[in-house]
């Protein structure tokens, strides 16, 4: 279907104001939840085919989170949607002030392939809740999941309200040539720049949820065994193809050996000794990414793992003793099950290594030392993160999730998603009962003296 035609339909529909009522938005969220429940088996199967995600992992990371988010919205949306009264400064006497959350209009959601269901549907919840019409562009690299999303959405919603558009580069270009009222993009920083450039032509506001190199710092006073367990958990979910996966470890040299021993133990505990034949271990999305990740293994000090299977596109969890900081593995986002480990003797070195790179999407600090916690939080800029854990900060409704600098702009999850998809329209309503002459011209010296008294 022609993209401009879909946009015209959606624009006409938006102008009927039907998408704006609270009742309508609540009903659409309920419809969405029902549709996901009906399609759950198909979604799980598609995720198995696209990424070999096990049922449990796929449910937890792609579907469970979405149910949770919709339930939360159904509970909170009536309150969030209310006109918000705020105080009015005395200088405006007599007046009232309030904020109205209104939809932007036509929203575009562009999603990546690594959590192809969750990352397309999670922003959709906010777009519906805000009262927008929506075009969803899922990733062509997860074709089975994209097909199911398309089928589910087209059976549940009218094209004039929500439409999935499938396709590769050419379609992406055509979509970005159109004028939207909001663009929500999740993907790489390089494509994020293309999206922002296209948005700039119409001054369309954007959220960019990007990636980057997210470090895990392990200090000598950390609980080393638990640190290893939680790092391996965050690294190997979806076999490292997670935007917030710990990308590399910075470890105090005093506890490096201990940490590595535990890392190896937990890899085996979670995935067994014959990982390449473990059907519960996900695969790399495609051959291009498989080859890209294998290049990181050339001539590196492999401490553990390193084997792969071209036919199944699986790569063993691989630990690398990383000595050189200018290797490509320390310049690019790894996005696979390879984990470089860098030792430091002074925390300042670790901070320097992080700061020499782009601001990370996430940072994980393992320590029991409050002073170190303060130093890192106050001196290093990053999107968000955890103390003594990995990745779970994004599964918390009360924490806005997003990047900083090159890892993104804007944030979502919970109320932040609703705020992202609504414009805050500020209104000051003035009474006609009194009207002070002071604010009106002529602005002579006497008024200057009065203003000086008011604004010190």
Q: Which residues are catalytic?
A: 209, 243
Assess 339 for contact with ligand NAD (CB under 6 A). no
Site membership for ligand NAD, residue 51 (CB under 6 A):
no
Only one of the segments 31-39, 132-140, 145-153, 442-450 lies at the binding site for ligand NAD (rule: CB under 6 A); that segment is 132-140
The answer to the question of residue 252 lying near ligand NAD (CB under 6 A) is: no
Q: How far is Cα 447 from Cα 92, in angstroms, rounded to an integer?
A: 17
Contact status: 112 vs ligand NAD (CB under 6 A): yes
* Cβ within 8 Å of residue 322, ≥6 positions away: 248, 300, 301, 329, 330, 340, 341, 342
Choice between 140 and 147, CB closer to ligand NAD: 140
Binding piece for ligand NAD, criterion CB under 6 A, among 150-158, 168-176, 370-378, 429-437: 168-176
Binding region for ligand NAD (CB under 6 A) out of 36-44, 105-113, 304-312, 368-376: 105-113
Minimum CB distance to ligand NAD smaller for 115 or for 344: 115
Q: Is 139 in the site for ligand NAD (CB under 6 A)?
A: yes
**Of residues 130, 211, 215, 337, which one binds ligand NAD by CB under 6 A?**
211
Closest CA to 126 of 437, 412, 321: 412
How far apart are the two ends of the chain, measured CA to CA in Å?
A: 61
Q: Where are the beta strands (DSSP E) in 210-317?
A: 215-218, 248-252, 302-304, 308-309, 314-315
Alpha helices in 272-400 (DSSP H): 287-295, 347-355, 370-379
Give the pair of three-digit tokens for residue 89: 């400064």
- Token couple for 41: 């088996």
Residue 234 binds ligand NAD (CB under 6 A): no
Stretch that binds ligand NAD, among 7-15, 184-192, 256-264, 418-426 (CB under 6 A): 184-192
Tokens 């790092």 belong to residue? 231
- Strand 95-103, strand 422-430: pairing: antiparallel
344: three-class secondary structure by DSSP: strand
Interface residue with ligand NAD, options 29, 36, 243, 380 (CB under 6 A): 243
State the Cα angle at 305 between 339 and 214, rounded to 5°.
10
Q: Does 111 bind ligand NAD (CB under 6 A)?
A: yes
Question: Quick one: which segment of 25-33, 88-96, 113-121, 148-156 binds ligand NAD (CB under 6 A)?
Answer: 113-121
Cβ closest to ligand NAD, residue 275 vs residue 416: 416
Stretch that binds ligand NAD, among 16-24, 133-141, 259-267, 352-360 (CB under 6 A): 133-141
Nearest in space to 196 (alpha carbons), one of 420, 411, 409? 409
Per-position x/- string for 191-210, each x denoting binding to ligand NAD as judged by CB under 6 A, each - no binding: x--x--------------xx
Q: Phi and psi at residue 204, in whole multiples of 5°?
A: -80, 130
Burial class (CB in 10 A: 0-12, 13-18, 19+), 298: exposed
Nearest to 97 by CA among 435, 429, 434: 429
> Between 228 and 386, whose beta carbon lies closer to ligand NAD?
386
Number of residues that bind ligand NAD (CB under 6 A): 26
Cα gap 264→275, rounded to integer Å: 12
Report the residue from 97, 178, 188, 223 that binds ligand NAD according to the rule CB under 6 A.
Answer: 188
Question: Could you say which DSSP state residue 180 is in?
Answer: -
Strands 408-409 and 206-209: antiparallel
Which of 247, 316, 333, 389 binds ligand NAD (CB under 6 A)? It is 333
Encoded one letter per residue, x for contact with ligand NAD by CB under 6 A and - for no contact, window 375-404 reads: ----------------------------x-
Q: Quick one: 169 or 203, whose CB is closer to ligand NAD?
A: 169
Which one of residues 75, 79, 87, 169 is an interface residue with ligand NAD (CB under 6 A)? 169
**Least CB distance to ligand NAD at residue 212 (A):** 7
**List of residues contacting ligand NAD (CB under 6 A):** 110-114, 119, 137, 139-140, 169, 172, 176, 186-188, 191, 194, 209-211, 243, 333, 335, 361, 403, 408
């Amino acid at each position: 279907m022609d993209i401009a035609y879909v946009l015209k339909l959606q624009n006409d529909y938006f102008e009927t104001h039907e998408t704006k009522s609270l009742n309508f938005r609540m009903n659409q969220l309920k419809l969405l939840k029902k549709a996901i429940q009906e399609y759950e088996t198909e979604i799980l199967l598609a995720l198995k085919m696209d990424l070999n995600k096990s049922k449990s992992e796929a449910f937890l990371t792609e579907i469970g989170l979405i149910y949770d988010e919709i339930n939360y919205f159904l509970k909170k949306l009536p309150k969030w949607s209310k006109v918000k009264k705020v105080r009015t400064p005395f200088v405006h006497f007599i007046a009232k002030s309030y904020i109205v959350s209104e939809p932007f209009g036509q929203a575009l959601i562009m999603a990546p392939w690594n959590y192809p269901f969750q990352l397309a549907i999670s922003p959709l919840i906010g777009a519906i809740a805000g009262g927008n019409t929506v075009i969803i562009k899922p990733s062509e690299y997860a074709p089975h999941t994209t097909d199911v999303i398309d089928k589910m959405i087209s059976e549940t919603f009218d094209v004039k309200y929500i439409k999935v558009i499938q396709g590769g580069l050419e379609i992406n270009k055509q979509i970005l040539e159109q004028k939207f009222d909001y663009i929500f993009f999740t993907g790489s920083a390089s494509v994020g720049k293309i999206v922002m450039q296209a948005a700039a032509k119409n001054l369309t506001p954007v959220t960019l949820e990007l990636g980057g190199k997210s470090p895990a710092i392990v200090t000598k006073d950390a609980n080393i065994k638990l640190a290893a367990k939680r790092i391996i958990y965050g690294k190997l979910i979806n076999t490292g193809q997670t935007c917030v996966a710990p990308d590399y470890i910075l470890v105090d040299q005093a506890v490096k050996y201990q940490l590595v021993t535990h890392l190896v133990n937990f890899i085996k505990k979670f995935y067994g000794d014959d990982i390449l034949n473990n059907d519960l271990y996900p695969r790399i999305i495609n051959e291009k990414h498989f080859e890209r990740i294998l290049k990181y293994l050339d001539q590196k000090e492999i401490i553990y793992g390193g084997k792969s299977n071209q036919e199944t596109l699986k790569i063993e969890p691989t630990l690398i003793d990383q000595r050189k900081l200018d290797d490509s593995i320390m310049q690019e986002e790894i996005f696979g099950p390879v984990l470089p480990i860098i030792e430091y003797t002074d925390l300042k070195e670790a901070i320097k290594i992080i700061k020499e790179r782009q601001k990370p999407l996430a940072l994980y600090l393992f320590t029991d030392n409050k002073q170190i916690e303060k130093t890192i939080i106050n001196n290093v800029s990053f999107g968000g993160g955890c103390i003594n854990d990995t990745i779970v900060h994004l599964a918390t409704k009360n924490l806005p999730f997003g990047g900083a600098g090159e890892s993104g702009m804007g944030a979502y999850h919970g109320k932040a998603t609703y705020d992202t998809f609504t414009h805050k329209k500020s209104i000051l309503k003035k009474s006609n009962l009194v009207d002070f002459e002071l604010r009106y011209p002529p602005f002579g010296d006497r008024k200057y003296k009065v203003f000086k008294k008011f604004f010190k």
